[in-house]
Amino acid sequence: MTQQLIGKMRAAVERYNMIEKGDCVAVGVSGGKDSLFLLYGLSKLSEYYPETFKVKALTVDPCFNNEQTDYSKIQDFCNELGIELIIKRSELSKIIFEDRNEKSPCSLCARMRRGILHNMAKENGCNRIALGHHYDDAVETFFMNILNGGTISCFSPKSYLSIKDLWLIRPMIFIEEKEIVQISRKLSLPISKSKCPVDGKTERQSTKELISDLSKKYPDLKAKVMGAMQRGEISGW
pLDDT, residue 191, reads 93
Residue 93 has pLDDT above 80, yes or no: no
| C-alpha span between 237 and 220 (Å, rounded) | 19
Who wins on pLDDT, 115 or 200? Answer: 115
Find the mean pLDDT for residues 92-111: 73
Q: What share of the chain in percent tops pLDDT 90?
A: 76
Beta bridge partners of 128: 25, 167
| Class level of CATH domain 2-236 | alpha beta
pLDDT, residue 95, reads 76
Read off the amino acid at residue 213: D
pLDDT, residue 203, reads 80
| C-alpha span between 157 and 230 (Å, rounded) | 11
Cβ within 8 Å of residue 57, ≥6 positions away: 26, 27, 29, 39, 74, 78, 83, 84, 85, 86
Residue 199 has pLDDT above 70, yes or no: no
Read off the amino acid at residue 87: I
| C-alpha span between 215 and 119 (Å, rounded) | 40
Find the mean pLDDT for residues 36-43: 98
pTM, entire model:
0.92
Per-residue pLDDT band for 201 (boundaries 50, 70, 90) equals: low
| C-alpha span between 177 and 144 (Å, rounded) | 17
Specify the DSSP class assigned to residue 32: S
Boundaries of every domain in the chain: 2-236
| C-alpha span between 4 and 200 (Å, rounded) | 29
| C-alpha span between 113 and 28 (Å, rounded) | 10
The alpha carbon torsion through 126, 32, 87, 45 (nearest 10 deg) reads -30
